[in-house]
Structure 1
Amino acid sequence: MLVMPKNTLFKPNDVAIHAIRSRGKGGQNVNKVNTGIHLRFDIKASSLTNENKEKLLKLNDIRLSKEGIIVIKADNFRTQEKNRLEALKRLNLLLTKTFKVPKIRKPTKISKAALAKQIEQKIQRSKIKQTRKKVRF
């Protein structure tokens, strides 16, 4: 059974997970045990909406292949289960960032009281600078 992280945007049958040999340090454990995870997410065959599929296919990411498959490799941990969860979390994070709609910024207007205060301060500052000038006779 596949243990999924909370609040995932995809279904468990949308991903294909294969165990691979991890790279890097680890002694004999690296050479004998398949602890790394190779996750493949086929965008076109997934259960996402067509709009979200289009957003993903337009994504400019090195993990996205020309065929529309997202490939994520996770081999940071020594156990296969931790690497599987890490790969699923990375996929979910990628989907979340892609589907997020940015808020539309509404430009704020300065209030009349604040504008009057700014003008009053400007006049006051101008008077101070006027008193610093040399007096001519």
Structure 2
Amino acid sequence: MIQVTDDIHIDEQTIQEDFIRASGPGGQNVNKVSTAVQLRFDVRQAGLPDPVRQRLEQLAGKRLTEEGVLILDARRFRSQERNREDALERLLNLIRKAAQPPTPRRKTRPPQVVKERRLDSKRHRGKIKKMRRINPHIEE
């Protein structure tokens, strides 16, 4: 069991790792060794609390398949082990972020001074436009 937060644990069996060849730096090593990691995590079968699962699916975006599998690619490092650690850490950070409930929005009202300032500027613009008329003293 991997401990994500104090009350959230995920089973290692829900994480599947595939190793693929990475592009980028590494010289001949890139052509011979599969160092990149493709981590697959089944969000719906992981046993996460419902609100956390929903927020995780929202955060995952395009990385989530229609079946509910989160796919993370890690190919930053040259070694397979560091890419494995990187992919797992990114998954845990994503779950930790989903575990934090969003702060509710507090309704605020604009101050009276701001309303008055806005109305004054509107009146001022109206006066400027009125002065552009041929005979500004005639009301239309």
Q: What TM-score range do you get, normalising by the shorter chain?
A: 0.5 to 0.7
Give the 5 Å matches for 1:1-137: 7=4, 9-59=9-59, 61-103=61-103
* CA 1:103–1:50: 2 relative to 1, 3 Å: closer
| TM-score normalised by structure 2 residue count | 0.63
Match for residue 135 of structure 1?
none
Identity of aligned residues (%): 38
CA distance in 1 between partners of 2:106 and 2:67 (Å):
39
Aligned length: 104
Q: Secondary structure at the match of 2:63?
A: coil
Higher relative contact order (CA 8 A, sep 6+): 1
Gaps of 5+ in 1: 108-137
- The alpha-carbon deviation at position 22 of structure 1 amounts to 1.1
| TM-score normalised by structure 1 residue count | 0.64
Q: CA RMSD in A?
A: 2.6
* CA 1:85–1:105: 2 relative to 1, 3 Å: same
Match for residue 121 of structure 2?
none
CA distance in 2 between partners of 1:35 and 1:14 (Å):
21
Q: Secondary structure at the match of 1:52?
A: helix
Q: Deviations over 1:95-122 (max 9, x none)?
A: 1112212345789xxxxxxxxxxxxxxx
- The alpha-carbon deviation at position 51 of structure 1 amounts to 3.1
- The alpha-carbon deviation at position 58 of structure 1 amounts to 3.8
- The alpha-carbon deviation at position 68 of structure 1 amounts to 1.1
The amino acid across from 1:16 in the alignment is Q
The amino acid across from 2:33 in the alignment is V
Residues 4, 10 of structure 2: 8 Å contact kept: no
Q: Deviations over 1:40-97 (max 9, x none)?
A: 0111111212332233234462211222111000011111110000000111111111
The 10-residue stretch of structure 1 (16-25 or 59-68) with the greater mean CA deviation from structure 2 = 59-68
